[in-house]
Amino acid sequence: MKKIKRILALALSALMTAACFAGCGGSADSPEGSNKTADSGKVYNIGICQLVQHPALDEATKGFKDALTEKLGADNVKFDEQNASGEKTNCTTITSKFVSDKVDLIMANATDALAAASQATDTIPILATSITDYASALEIKDWNGKTGFNVSGTSDLAPLKEQAAMVKEIVPDVKKVGILYCSSETNSKYQATVVTEELKNLGIESKEYTFVDTNDVSTVTQQMVTDKCDAIYIPTDNTAASNAQAINNILEPAKIPVIAGEEGICKGCGIATLSISYYNIGKKTGEMAYEILVEGADPAEMEIQYDEAPVKKYFADRAEAIGVKIPDDYEAISTEE
């Protein structure tokens, strides 16, 4: 049913676009009258829905805005930036208002924001970022790298096999790994499943520890200490990122090292990560937005983009406090705000 709805919506969109082109046509001064240019004087209105405020998503939004402002010029783009405070219902309210306001494009930062935006409109272009698995997020069965409808964007998927190997590299005597994430985040479940299998291939036992929301993060984290986990893996999980300090308050005194899925979580409670740059994927998303708004690219045919250069990083102070030696090929995470 969802696929049929998308097909009908795209067909209607195509008819509307054709009618618009027929009515507007090209001018004598613009032989390619149907193509917008950054110098046309048009002000583009962009709605940004960010699920929650934490360093990774903040960086992605910043990269998006920087790229689009650079491409279009500060006078030619206006951002309506809204934060959903971690609530799915707020994402729905925010994206529905964007549709009512007839924005030119919606940027959805994180999975719940994308889900809300894709339900809100079949016609306004949607670009997402900080999405690990688009197929799961959008319930697409035959995934080929493109959505086939009005959605595209960038992924924050890190090399999970290499992250699993990092656990063994950082903690050579590891026997049992606790995998900590929020049960309501489908991206996190996907990563946990992959990492569990990779750890199994390395002969390492693992157990998933899930929390529902911020209210039970500390309780679940304490359970991993009680169960005597040798190390913890935390994927790119928004709720964990927002509660990194609470997690660290339990694990650092217990001297249990955390391998994190991204730099922000690592800075908050981890000792090492193989991290993509959220700023870079946000910037790529902004560049894709320019292609749609100005060059007429169709999001349905735009492949999901990735950060191809993840970096091994470590948080020096915490590694020293826990007593873990970090290999020489890791880059220290800056402690400057």
Q: What pLDDT digit, counting tens, does each position of 277-322 carry?
A: 999 999 999 999 999 999 999 999 999 999 988 999 999 999 999 9
Instruction: Kindly report which listed range (37-41, 58-62, 198-202, 330-334) carries the lowest average pLDDT score.
Output: 37-41
pLDDT at 20: 39
Instruction: Using the predicted structure, report yes or no on whether residue 188 has a pLDDT greater than 80.
Output: yes
The whole model's pTM is what? 0.78
User: Which residues, including other chains, have CB under 8 Å from residue 107's CB and lie 6 or more apart?
Assistant: 46, 47, 48, 49, 61, 64, 126, 127, 128, 129, 285, 289
Instruction: Using the predicted structure, report yes or no on whether residue 150 has a pLDDT greater than 60.
Output: yes
Average pLDDT over residues 54-81: 97
pLDDT at 38: 55
Domains of the chain: 42-156+278-306 (3.40.50.2300), 160-275+311-332 (3.40.50.2300)
Q: Report which secondary-structure segment, H or E, holds 232.
A: strand 231-234
Give the amino acid at 115: A
Counting residues of the chain whose pLDDT is more than 90, the rounded percentage is 83
pLDDT at 40: 61
Q: Report which secondary-structure segment, H or E, holds 127.
A: strand 126-131
Angle between helices 278-293 and 55-72 (to 10 degrees): 40
Question: Contacts by 246-251 with C-beta closer than 8 Å and gap 24+?
Answer: 246/214, 246/217, 246/218, 246/221, 247/180, 247/217, 247/218, 247/221, 248/318, 249/218, 250/218, 250/221, 250/222, 250/225, 251/221, 251/224, 251/225
Burial class, 24, CB count within 10 angstroms (exposed 0-12 / middle 13-18 / buried 19+) = exposed
User: 19 falls in which pLDDT band (50, 70, 90)?
Assistant: very low
Q: What pLDDT digit, counting tens, does each position of 106-118 carry?
A: 999 999 999 999 9
Average pLDDT over residues 248-271: 96
Pairing of strands 176-182, 231-234: parallel
pLDDT at 25: 37
N-to-C CA span, the chain: 47
Full strand arrangement of the beta sheet holding 44-50? 77-83, 44-50, 105-109, 126-131, 151-155, 305-306
pLDDT at 39: 54
- The first and second tokens of residue 130, run together, are 């900080």
Rounded CA gap, 204 and 240, in Å? 23
Cβ atoms of 242 and 55 within 8 Å: the answer is no
Instruction: Kindly report which listed range (16-25, 79-88, 156-165, 264-273) carries the lowest average pLDDT score.
Output: 16-25
Average pLDDT over residues 251-273: 96
pLDDT at 337: 57
Cβ atoms of 212 and 185 within 8 Å: the answer is no
Average pLDDT over residues 178-194: 94
- C-alpha pair distances (Å), 316 with each of 163, 238, 327: 18, 23, 11
DSSP state string for 53-104? -SHHHHHHHHHHHHHHHHHH-GGGEEEEEEE-TT-HHHHHHHHHHHHHTT-S
pLDDT at 62: 98
3-state SS class at 192? helix
pLDDT at 275: 87
Average pLDDT over residues 227-248: 96
pLDDT at 8: 44
Q: What mean pLDDT is reported for the chain? A: 89
Average pLDDT over residues 57-85: 97
